[in-house]
């Protein structure tokens, strides 16, 4: 008897939990945006939900970028995947190789009769996220690029012109020294994301290859080549500057110790993502912040190339009902509308991903009212992108970046020279690329 009751109640529970989804189609959206950014993201989902009553987008925060990716992969393997997942640019290679897991956005939009025009997006964004045939596989959402933040008050105290930030690394070096020697601040500069800012972007800006086969865009057989003379010289400089105290290391991966150094006015200059803008403004009430493009070596190039993208895109995962994909397609259209994009861009510091959103911001007079807010977009769109500045695409890039961080730490501790550290990073990185190639072919 008790067995029967159990069966009955289980069946009843299953029926009950199945009913509420009937009215509206639910679209699960897993993301990695916390705090202020998370609220902005939820506002976008709410905006879409209010604009129609057929679909409900349900955003859920799944932790950091790597955690979100891992959660989505685990869910996919258990057949519990969300319809949309936000994956950071580092995971792009991994996602692109997983053809069976992904519903490519260009196809998704065509299948559901939604308008889709790749040329509406900013060129560097399209370039970074297209496959070799030129199709965009995931929906660009939050793209950023590293820029330089500096403390105008400290510049003034050190006897520097607060309106002329350093343009080149040589200028940055002399200015940092002047800042230190005048006692205006104990350290010249710090940086978040060593791998992304001081190696990947450094290579792009100076038109140096990061890997073979067009920085990995050409196929899985790619190899790292970031141990060239420009990169070696830069790392050597960073090591010397660290020894002198001009540069302070902010830790591996994102460099969590870097922002406090800048906020506490310990370091006068800080390089990090343009999406740090909101945080920087919030945390610098005590001093005035200036914004500038990343510096370059004028003995290497007089015409610095565009910087490259960071941030994330939205991937539609396979294995859902057609009705769900219809909703996803409509949501993507809503998401890329100029109003939604412009608002997201202006509130967060991420790039406006469409030309229309950028134009809307110009019309609104946003860039004049907020000096420095167009630094990132100007830097990423300057010049004609070369094969070396189009972006990078490597599988298992998370691991490869960890290797870069580790070798950078070996350099700082003095156990390796810049050449040795970069050679080791290339060698270990190539091993990781071979693993990825072997697992995906």
List residues near another protein by CB under 8 A: 66-67, 69-70, 73, 76-77, 94, 97-98, 100-101, 249-253, 257, 260-261, 264, 266, 396, 398-399, 402, 405-407, 409-410, 412-413, 415, 435, 438-440
The residue (of 43 and 424) whose beta carbon lies closer to another protein is: 424
The distance of closest approach from Cβ of residue 395 to another protein in the complex, given in angstroms and rounded to an integer, is 9
The distance of closest approach from Cβ of residue 76 to another protein in the complex, given in angstroms and rounded to an integer, is 6
The residue (of 21 and 264) whose beta carbon lies closer to another protein is: 264
Contact between residue 398 and residue 66 where contact means Cβ atoms under 8 Å apart: yes
The residue (of 223 and 266) whose beta carbon lies closer to another protein is: 266
The residue (of 267 and 353) whose beta carbon lies closer to another protein is: 267
The distance of closest approach from Cβ of residue 2 to another protein in the complex, given in angstroms and rounded to an integer, is 13
The distance of closest approach from Cβ of residue 181 to another protein in the complex, given in angstroms and rounded to an integer, is 20
The residue (of 390 and 416) whose beta carbon lies closer to another protein is: 416
The distance of closest approach from Cβ of residue 90 to another protein in the complex, given in angstroms and rounded to an integer, is 11
The residue (of 97 and 300) whose beta carbon lies closer to another protein is: 97
Q: Can you tell me the distance from the alpha carbon of 273 to that of 277, in angstroms, rounded to the nearest whole number?
A: 8
The distance of closest approach from Cβ of residue 421 to another protein in the complex, given in angstroms and rounded to an integer, is 10
The residue (of 113 and 221) whose beta carbon lies closer to another protein is: 221
The distance of closest approach from Cβ of residue 132 to another protein in the complex, given in angstroms and rounded to an integer, is 19
């Amino acid at each position: 008897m008790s067995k029967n009751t159990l069966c009955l109640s289980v069946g009843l529970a299953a029926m009950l939990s199945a009913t509420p989804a009937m009215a509206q189609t639910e679209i699960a959206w897993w993301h990695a945006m916390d705090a202020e950014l998370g609220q902005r993201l939820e506002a976008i989902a709410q905006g879409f939900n209010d604009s129609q009553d057929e679909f409900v987008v349900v955003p859920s925060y799944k932790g950091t970028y790597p955690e979100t990716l891992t959660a989505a992969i685990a869910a996919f393997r258990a057949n519990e995947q969300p319809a949309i997942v936000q994956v950071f640019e580092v995971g792009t290679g991994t996602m692109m190789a997983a053809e069976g897991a992904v519903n490519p956005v260009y196809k998704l939009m065509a299948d559901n009769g939604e308008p889709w025009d790749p040329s509406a997006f900013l060129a560097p964004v399209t370039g970074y996220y297209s496959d070799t045939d030129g199709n965009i596989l995931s929906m660009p959402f939050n793209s950023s690029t590293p820029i330089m933040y500096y403390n105008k008050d400290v510049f003034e105290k050190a006897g520097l012109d607060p309106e002329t930030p350093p343009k080149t690394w040589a200028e940055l070096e002399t200015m940092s020294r002047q800042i230190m020697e005048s006692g205006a601040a104990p350290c010249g500069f710090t940086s978040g994301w060593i791998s992304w800012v001081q190696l990947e972007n450094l290579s792009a800006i100076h038109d140096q290859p990061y890997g073979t086969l067009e920085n990995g865009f050409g196929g899985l057989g790619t190899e790292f080549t970031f141990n060239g003379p420009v990169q070696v010289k830069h790392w050597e400089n960073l090591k010397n500057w660290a020894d002198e105290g001009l540069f302070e290391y902010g830790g591996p991966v994102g460099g969590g110790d870097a922002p406090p150094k800048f906020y506490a006015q310990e370091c006068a200059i800080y390089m990090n993502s343009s999406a740090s803008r909101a945080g920087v403004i919030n945390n610098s009430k005590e001093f005035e912040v200036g914004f500038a493009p990343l510096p370059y070596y004028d003995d290497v190039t007089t015409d610095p190339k565009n910087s490259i993208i960071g941030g994330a895109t939205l991937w539609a995962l396979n294995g859902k009902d057609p009705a769900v994909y219809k909703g996803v397609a409509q949501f993507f259209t809503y998401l890329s509308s100029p109003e939604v994009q412009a608002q997201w861009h202006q509130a967060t510091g991420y790039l406006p991903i469409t030309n229309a959103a950028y134009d809307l911001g110009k019309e609104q007079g946003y860039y004049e009212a907020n000096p420095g807010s167009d630094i990132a977009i100007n830097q990423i769109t300057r010049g004609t992108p070369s094969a070396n500045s189009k972006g990078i695409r490597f599988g298992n890039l998370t691991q490869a970046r960890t290797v870069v961080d580790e070798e950078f730490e070996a350099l700082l501790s003095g156990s390796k020279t810049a050449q040795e550290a970069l050679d080791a990073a290339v060698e270990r990185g190539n091993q990781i690329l071979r693993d990825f190639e072997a697992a995906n072919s």
